[in-house]
Amino acid sequence: MEVIIRPDTARAVRLAARLIADTVKMKPACKLGLATGHTMEAVYAELGRMHCEQKLDFSLVRTFNLDEYIGLAATDPNSYRYYMDQHLFKCINIDVRNTFLPDGMAADEIAEGQRYESLIRDAGGIDLQLLGIGSDGHIGFNEPISSLASRTRAKALTPATYLQNSKYFTPPEAMPKRAFTMGVGTIMDAKRIVMLITGSAKAGIAAKAIEGPVTAMVTGSALQLHPAAVVILDQAAAGMLTQTDYYNWVFANEPEWADYR
Ligand code: PGA
pLDDT tens-digit series, residues 189-210: 999 999 999 999 999 999 999 9
Identify whether the C-beta of residue 26 lies closer than 8 Å to the C-beta of residue 127.
no
Q: What is the pTM of this model?
A: 0.97
Closest approach atom of ligand 1 to CA 37: 4
User: Within 13 Å of residue 98, how many CA atoms lie on the same side as its CB?
Assistant: 18
DSSP string computed for 20-51 = HHHHHHH-TT-EEEE--SHHHHHHHHHHHHHH
Identify whether the C-beta of residue 238 lies closer than 8 Å to the C-beta of residue 223.
no
Which SS3 state, helix, strand or coil, does residue 217 take? coil
Sorting pLDDT into bands at 50, 70 and 90, what band is 217?
A: very high
d(CA 244, CA 231): 12
Q: Which of these, 130, 37, 36, 52, lies nearest to 92 by C-alpha position?
A: 52
Cα 166 from chain centre: 19
What residues flank ligand 1, with Cβ below 6 Å? Answer: 37-39, 132-134
Distance from Cα 38 to the centre of ligand 1, integer Å = 6
Distance from Cα 138 to the centre of ligand 1, integer Å = 9
Identify whether the C-beta of residue 44 lies closer than 8 Å to the C-beta of residue 87.
yes
Do β-strands 153-156 and 178-181 pair in parallel, antiparallel, or remain unpaired? antiparallel
The pLDDT score that the predictor gives to residue 171 is 94
Sorting pLDDT into bands at 50, 70 and 90, what band is 119?
A: very high
